[in-house]
Amino acid sequence: QVQLVESGGGLVQAGGSLRLSCAASGRTFSMYAVGWFRQAPGKERELVARIIWSIGSTDYADSVKGRFTIARDKAKNTGYLQMNSLKPEGTAVYYCAATGPRRDRYDYWGLGTQVTVSS
């Protein structure tokens, strides 16, 4: 019903910046929230940030607060994660995901994009 495709990952030095994009297609009008998750090898997947699609309210994990900004362009059906002051521990596969009618469950997932932060 909703397809999500991430882009923008890559290699960046510690302290640098990267912007991830999440292009949504399909029944995008059904999306309630879009979240960015990350998963490093051997670690649990964690929610980094989320945005309520219609109104733009945001929430962040404490680990990225003040450094990351989540945003969306509703006209382009695209979400973004601006990552500043990147740290090596930010190295992970980053996924975007969207909720549907059940607002507390992420039903739609992209395939992920690799972010590598070198020290």
Residue 9 in contact with residue 110, Cβ under 8 Å?
A: no
First to last CA, the chain: 40
At 92 the three-state DSSP class reads strand
How deeply is 59 buried, as exposed, middle or buried, from its count of CB atoms within 10 A (0-12, 13-18, 19+)? middle
Report pLDDT for 103: 93
For residue range 66-100, list pLDDT tens digits in order. 999 999 999 999 999 999 999 999 999 999 999 99
Report pLDDT for 59: 98
Q: Count of alpha carbons within 13 Å of 77, Cβ hemisphere only?
A: 14
How many residues appear in the chain?
Answer: 119
For residue range 35-62, list pLDDT tens digits in order. 999 999 999 999 999 999 999 999 999 9
